[in-house]
Amino acid sequence: SILMNIINKGNLDLIEANEYAGRQFIDVVQLVKSRLNYMVIGVVRNGEVILNPGNDFVIQPGDSLLIIK
């Protein structure tokens, strides 16, 4: 499958999100795309994966971003 191909090639990764704390998810998606050219597909918070949270979802300290490189 395409998803397994992305995972196996190492294109799926987590990056620390503290610098984006307090920002809405949609803003972080746009910032990460413009700065790093990565696609943010979700957030990991307290060990829980939250895929494609709503645009008004707010990043908190300690969150990680699930990205595709």
Are the CB atoms for 28 and 40 separated by under 8 Å? yes
What number is the average pLDDT over the span 12-34? 96
pTM: 0.87
Least confident range from 1-10, 11-20, 33-42: namely 1-10
Side chain identity, residue 69: K
pLDDT in tens, 24-64: 999 999 999 999 999 999 999 999 999 999 988 999 999 99
4 vs 55, higher pLDDT? 55
Q: What local confidence, expressed as pLDDT, does residue 1 receive?
A: 65
Structure tokens at 7: 């995972």
Nearest-angstrom CA–CA distance, 29 and 55: 9
